[in-house]
Structure 1
């Protein structure tokens, strides 16, 4: 049987040591079978185990192999489309409930880290950096919007203040969210997996779900075994493939690229980001960056629609890094990798149920670190019969990409090109 290792990323190279987990090789029975050991699956499993369910998790490769172990490591609140956009789409009542949940994912992460002693380099503070006066105006509106939903750990930064938190002369201002922050994402996933096992949950690695036998007692088949369950949670996101065709039709895997420098040393690292906050700019095709625990700069950006792996990731991202930090022109890049996230046409997550017993959450659209942790809690609530918050997500409208699977990638790329031009010319 194939053994799929982690990609050659900085996260894999600096991951905490964990014991190998077996592949499923027989038939097991459980209350809930979770497909995917990323954040959505692990968060669901933890909440379910804490509420007395028996849980079995199937992972096609290794814990955190997908987006959960490859992302920029930034704790960013709300959704890829903000609460005001949701409100215009679904009305104030549903938006109120979704708005109340928009800042919960970050709290869940911190609670997990504290409760289960997870070592993942958790740091507080995230900055949204404005490149234009129009973007700064948007941040001012965003602050008012978030405060309307009770989120008050925010500070607007003028040009002088943002220079105090990031040594980049491109920005006219920004907003600091002290409930944001950053983590070593793979170590967070590994710590959550250990927590799952400490509560009696079982995780099988190298055990891809190849078929779901639907019915009153659904069965998930793997190459060498099967899991019979009362409920199934589908949490594969961009790595699900065509296991559930009706989910693939309304989403599209996309790739994002990340590079990591050699260690910068304390002096240069503190010069770039004196307070050790993470940063993302306000462009549609945004750049994001932060420091690691050993004082490297992680810098990411760009989108490859259809999730192809670029031939030279460094050639794509290094110029973006040097535009922000020309002082790094002689710094070596030690790691470069790509990872896929799942895009929806609305850029809002898709949550729902197939039949009576198959639940799913997918399509974080690049905003997944916090949302996935919330999603796990919401899915667990639904399985316990508390569906109000689940229904608030499930009732969001979703549509297939224009042109179907054949044309969704070029249409999305055309849209990104248009918004990239708007970013470039400050519209």
Structure 2
């Protein structure tokens, strides 16, 4: 039987102990079968179990194998396209619901960490950093926008104030979101998976789904077993492949790269990020970074469209790292890894049903840590018959990439090049 371990990364090397769950074998029955043991799937399972459902989770590799165990570890509010874009596309009721949910994910994460005693190095505070005055003006407007939806934990930072947050000459200002923060992402999902099992949920690893048989009682097939359920939740995101072509037609897997330095001397680490906040800049192809619990700088950025694994990740990331922190020129990179996220043309998540009993959420477009936890709650609500918030997401318009699947990578890369060119010119 095929065994797929976690990919090499700092997170895998520093993960909390977690059992290897047995693969699915034989015939089983449950209330809800969840495909994918990342944040979306595990969050959905946990909400359902808390309301008395029987839940079985099938994972092709290990819990947190995909983006949930490889991302930058930043708790960032809202969506990859902000609320002003959503307001222009939908009516006031739908915009209100989506706006309220934009700031819910971080609260769910903190509740899970406290309720289930999850050790994932949770730290509060996240900063959006402006590289130029145009971006700083945008942050001022973003602050007003978010405050209109009741989010009042924001503080604008001028050029002097941001120097007290991050030791670099790169930024002209920024915005602090005190409800943002950062975590060890793999340890978060491993802790949530343990919570699922503590409530009677069943997780099978090394159990890739090969077919979903639709019908009044859908059947989910793996190589060595099958699960009959009342409902199915599809939560594979960028690692779903072509299992359900209707879901892959309007999305595209993309890769992002992350490195972790060697542990920094305490004084140096403190000087880089004195408040231990996480930071992301406001460029289209942004850089994001934070300190780990053992004082490594974890630095990520860039996008590889089509999710190819780059040959030399360090060579892609190190120039940007040194542009922000030239004082780290002699610091060694201990870990470098890549992972995939799922991009939609709108940059907004895709939520819906296939038939009446197969639910899905996908396409976080790089904003998945918080959104996926909201998605889990929304999917669980819909399965319980409370679909108002689910419908608010499901009604968002989505379109195929120009040129179809053959040309979606080059067309998207051309668009990204345009926005990157704009960032460089400060437009």
Same fold flag (TM > 0.5) = yes
Who is 2:341 aligned against?
341
Residues 68-79 of structure 1 aligned to structure 2 (within 5 Å): 68-79=68-79
Shift of 1:160: 0.5
Deviations 1:271-291 (A, max 9, x none): 000000000000000000000
Shift of 1:99: 0.2
Residues 11-90 of structure 1 aligned to structure 2 (within 5 Å): 11-90=11-90
Distance in 1, Cα, partners of 2:126 & 2:411: 32
Q: Is the partner of 2:413 in helix, strand or coil?
A: helix
Residues 157-168 of structure 1 aligned to structure 2 (within 5 Å): 157-168=157-168
Deviations 1:301-358 (A, max 9, x none): 0000000000000000000000000000000000000000000000000000000100
Residues 91-240 of structure 1 aligned to structure 2 (within 5 Å): 91-240=91-240
Q: Is the partner of 1:210 in helix, strand or coil?
A: strand
Who is 2:421 aligned against?
421
Distance in 2, Cα, partners of 1:47 & 1:19: 22
Q: Is the partner of 2:178 in helix, strand or coil?
A: strand
Deviations 1:81-122 (A, max 9, x none): 001100001132211110011000000000000000000000
Distance in 1, Cα, partners of 2:20 & 2:218: 28
Who is 2:299 aligned against?
299
> What count of residue pairs does the alignment treat as equivalent?
427
Q: Is the partner of 1:28 in helix, strand or coil?
A: strand
Distance in 2, Cα, partners of 1:27 & 1:35: 16
Who is 2:371 aligned against?
371
Distance in 1, Cα, partners of 2:295 & 2:265: 6
Q: Is the partner of 1:18 in helix, strand or coil?
A: coil
Q: Is the partner of 2:209 in helix, strand or coil?
A: coil
Is 2:243 aligned against 1:243?
Answer: yes
Distance in 1, Cα, partners of 2:424 & 2:133: 14
Deviations 1:101-151 (A, max 9, x none): 100000000000000000000000000000110000000000000000000
Shift of 1:18: 1.1
Distance in 2, Cα, partners of 1:422 & 1:166: 24
Distance in 2, Cα, partners of 1:335 & 1:257: 11
Deviations 1:56-101 (A, max 9, x none): 0000000000000000000000000001100001132211110011
Distance in 1, Cα, partners of 2:316 & 2:249: 29
Shift of 1:410: 0.4
Distance in 2, Cα, partners of 1:317 & 1:91: 41
Deviations 1:163-204 (A, max 9, x none): 000001010000000000000000000000000000000000
Who is 2:270 aligned against?
270
Shift of 1:376: 0.1
Shift of 1:19: 1.5
Deviations 1:43-68 (A, max 9, x none): 00000000010000000000000000
Q: What TM-score comes out, normalization by structure 1 length? A: 1.00
Who is 1:322 aligned against?
322
Distance in 2, Cα, partners of 1:227 & 1:144: 48
Who is 2:257 aligned against?
257
- The unaligned stretches of length 5 or more in structure 2 are none
Distance in 2, Cα, partners of 1:176 & 1:166: 11
Distance in 1, Cα, partners of 2:297 & 2:26: 44
Q: What TM-score comes out, normalization by structure 2 length? A: 1.00
Distance in 2, Cα, partners of 1:195 & 1:210: 27
- The list of structure 1 runs, each at least 4 consecutive aligned residues, that deviate by more than 6 angstroms after superposition, is none
Who is 1:387 aligned against?
387
Distance in 2, Cα, partners of 1:42 & 1:252: 22
Distance in 2, Cα, partners of 1:108 & 1:94: 21
Distance in 1, Cα, partners of 2:220 & 2:93: 37
Distance in 2, Cα, partners of 1:219 & 1:265: 54
Q: Is the partner of 1:124 in helix, strand or coil?
A: strand
